[in-house]
Amino acid sequence: MKPDIIKQSPSTHTWVIVQYLSAVIVSAAIILLWIDKLVGFMIIAFAFLFVIPAFVISLISFFKSLKFNTGHKRIFLIWHVANILAVLLMIFNPNDRCDAHIMEEHYIKYHAQMESLYHKVSQQLKPGCSIYIEFEERKLSLFTVSTDGNHGGNSCNLNEENIDSLLMASGLDRKALNDIENTLDDIHCISIAVSASPDQPYEIGFRRVLMDKYDFVIYPYALSQKEQKRVAADPGNILYSPHVVFRYGTGAVGNSNFPGKEEYLQSRKNSVVRYFAVVAGYTNK
């Protein structure tokens, strides 16, 4: 009798190699997102034909490795669990979340330091000059200088020579730049935009969340009722007070509405109603 022919599945060796390659791609994507979320998402979007299959294969590999009966499966299980934990840490990182309630609490806590920083920087700027300075992980990432409304200089490739040139154009020096960096770090913010003109608002950048940015726009004078209506009409703005605006901006194409704007405004109205109800209750006693 002829022996039975046993049909074999695709090479186990090949499947193991595919799992390792997929795990490497997934880990690389996670590391990129940890280093710089914006750049990471751009690279992942560009290489999605590799990244998406790698995520799918890693998901399958994770469930198969739960059997834990071979050396490779033990390695894969530990690797996949590490990747999952890294993703969860990114998702639930409090610094990667933002809404109007968080901004309100932050402004109440740090508004004095924001105002002090603004006065210190504006007094050092050359007449007619305005600047935008942003830090990322305590590294200078953006530095823009404009003079009398004209774009005077901008650099994303910030070597020492470029920084010195921009500082000279603005009227600042290295000590001022270090003070800005330290103060922004102390108040847990990332950027500042200031004009030498005393009647212009200044901006303190609060957070970047993926491609979105949240800013405090602070006016040196109280906005008129007409100006308040104009500012509040912008879907990306929340008028916190006649002096302060919470602003949301997105680098992505699509909805530019401040997330949760209506809910926040309604909660503020409810708080006012409750306050007056309590006051009225005490008055009637």
Write down the pTM of the prediction. Answer: 0.72
Q: What one-character DSSP code corresponds to residue 149?
A: T
24 vs 135: CA distance, rounded Å:
30
What per-residue confidence (pLDDT) applies to 157? 65
Per-chain mean pLDDT for the chain: 86
Q: What pLDDT score does 284 carry?
A: 53
Strand bridging mode 202-209 / 212-218: antiparallel
CA distance 14 to 27: 20
What are 64's two structure tokens? 């198969």
Is residue 111 over pLDDT 90? yes
Highest mean pLDDT pick, 1-5, 136-140, 227-231, 276-280: 227-231
Q: Which residues contact 206 (CB under 8 A, 6 or more apart)?
A: 98, 103, 106, 189, 190, 214, 215, 216
The answer to whether residue 84 scores a pLDDT higher than 80 is: yes
pLDDT at 203: 98
Q: What is the DSSP string of 9-75?
A: PSPHHHHHHHHHHHHHHHHHHHHHHHH-HHHHHHHHHHTHHHHHHHHHHHHHHHHHHTT--SHHHHH
Q: Which phi and psi (to 5°) does residue 147 adopt? A: -125, 125
- Mean pLDDT for the stretch of residues 195-215: 92
Q: Spell out where the chain has E strands.
A: 129-136, 139-147, 150-155, 191-195, 202-209, 212-218, 237-239, 244-250
Confidence band (pLDDT; 50, 70, 90) for 8? very low
Tens-place pLDDT, residues 230-267: 999 999 999 999 999 999 998 665 568 999 999 999 99
Strand (E) or helix (H) holding 200: none
- Site of tokens 């997102």: 33
Confidence of residue 273 (pLDDT cuts 50, 70, 90): low
201-207-213 Cα angle (round to 5): 70
More confident residue, 95 or 120: 120
pLDDT tops 80 at residue 89: yes
User: What confidence tens digit (pLDDT) does each residue in 206-226 have?
Assistant: 998 877 899 999 999 999 999
Mean pLDDT of 124-137: 93
